[in-house]
Amino acid sequence: MDILSLVRKNIQKLSPYSTARDEFKGTAEVYLDANENPYPSPYNRYPDPLQKKLKTRISEIKSIAPSKIFLGNGSDEAIDLIIRAFCEPGKDSILITEPTYGMYSVCAGVNDVKIKKVNLTVDFDLDLNALQANLDGSVKVIFLCSPNNPSGNLLSKEKISTLITSFKGIVVVDEAYIDFANAEGFLPSLGKYPNLVVLQTFSKSWGLAGLRLGMAFASEEIISVLNKIKYPYNINILTQNTALEEISSVKEKDRQVKEILEQRLLLIKQLQAIPTVLNVYPTDANFVLVKIKYAKKVYNQLIDHSIIVRDRSTVVLCDDCLRITVGTPEENSKLIETLKTL
């Protein structure tokens, strides 16, 4: 598969902005090349545009070569760049499954790229026939979210693999919640699929949503396209340094994930015992989708009790549904106790 031929022509031809530090790659005593203020502070120098130290560390954690890693200002940046690299505005489209994460449509909309929507099945899995029926020549990127937001479940691995091998474009598998799932996801399959992009993030299991750091993993060809069109210094020094410190302990992240999973189990049981709860959907993420009588009203009453959940009741296939993040034991019991009184 020739990935570069899928890239928009103007981007194939583009020469990227070359930073001062790109042109001189070694180390020196005196830097007079970037018009920085010479007086030392932690921030007087521009950050490493390719975040080599941080990628080396992530490469160890994920067992993926640094050349196959892109870091963005949240995975949202990667979503936007993938659309901009592969979809011609006013002409091409992306394919999404509904219900799903909202940013794929927003980024496509901003870029004047059309959106084809195919509903998931009633149990929130891929409908391969419907997907394939919508794959006309205009579709350049398929976005799949697994575990899916807002339903919480993993999509079928076999169906995803079938799509990746049969589709002659880019398939993005958004694994923002993979650390909460009892499955390894698609990272180990990266070498098999040149058209696959796996998105992960430090915003959920790692507890670093405020840092804004997302990861895209893909073939070197795709990663170099993303590097070519990103802002030169997209990850600032504070984020790069703080991330290096914060991800030094994989153990602490794993401990918190384990606790969240225990709480998830308890929360599901307690929700199922509430008479107005009609269904708690199976989840592989750190949230649950709950079908509940009078969802909109419950949502507003919870606000009155200073508890905010996500109202998904107007979303396709999510009638009367609230999406509830698993919190601390105290937060979860406050939610349950409040729901009991409504």
3-state secondary structure of 201: strand
Look up residue 332 and give its two tokens. 């979860």
User: Which segments of 64-220 are extended strands (E)?
Assistant: 69-72, 93-98, 114-119, 139-145, 170-174, 196-201, 214-218
- Which of 70, 101, 206, 281 binds ligand PLP (CB under 6 A)? It is 101
CB of 201 to ligand PLP, least distance (A): 3
Sequence-ordered list of residues with C-beta below 8 angstroms from that of 148, at least 6 positions apart, any chain: 97, 99, 100, 120, 124, 154, 155
For ligand PLP, give the closer residue by CB, 109 or 191. 109
For ligand PLP, give the closer residue by CB, 6 or 178. 178
For ligand PLP, give the closer residue by CB, 209 or 273. 209
**Which residue has the closest beta carbon to ligand PLP?**
74
Preceding omega of 99 cis (within 30 degrees of 0): yes
- Which of 174, 179, 284, 311 binds ligand PLP (CB under 6 A)? It is 174
CB of 223 to ligand PLP, least distance (A): 17
For ligand PLP, give the closer residue by CB, 86 or 180. 180
- Beta-bridge partners for 70: 216
For ligand PLP, give the closer residue by CB, 21 or 77. 77
Residue 74 within binding range of ligand PLP, rule CB under 6 A: yes
Residue 311 within binding range of ligand PLP, rule CB under 6 A: no
57: Cα within 13 Å, side-chain hemisphere: 15
- Confirm if 223 and 68 have CB atoms less than 8 A apart: yes
Tell me which residues in 189-218 interact with ligand PLP (CB under 6 A).
201, 203-204, 209, 214
Binding-site size, ligand PLP (CB under 6 A): 13
Look up residue 338 and give its two tokens. 């409040």
Task: For residue 285, give Cα distances in angstroms to 24, 145, 281, 327, 329.
Answer: 44, 11, 11, 12, 17
- Which of 76, 80, 92, 284 binds ligand PLP (CB under 6 A)? It is 76
Residues that bind ligand PLP (CB under 6 A): 74-76, 101, 145, 149, 174, 176, 201, 203-204, 209, 214
